[in-house]
Amino acid sequence: MTVGHEYADQSPLLLQVALLWRPDPENLQYDWLENGWPLEENDLKVSRRRLVRLVDWFLDGNQLMAYTIGMPGELIDENAEVTLSWVQGSNC
């Protein structure tokens, strides 16, 4: 997914965040959150607003993400089994 990712700032105080959308089983679209996600408390409000704008922009219409990749096969949710075990354990 990093192909086309042009952020020059690879600071250890920034996390790179991608918004993913799978319009069909064979394709995945994504875009990066501009300027990443800072780990410093004083920058979080700005990042939240950027994330909300990105999601709202996408949900407002027939927007296309900046990048598209083909997805041969299924996506695997490595947390699904852990989550299912946790849910089953909490219902006992």
pLDDT tens-digit readout, 33-67: 888 888 888 888 888 888 898 889 888 877 778 88
Q: Is residue 18 predicted with pLDDT exceeding 80?
A: yes
User: What tokens were used for 26?
Assistant: 């064979």
Return mean pLDDT, the chain.
74
pLDDT digits (tens, 9 = 90+) for 58-78: 888 777 788 888 877 766 666
Mean pLDDT of 7-28: 76
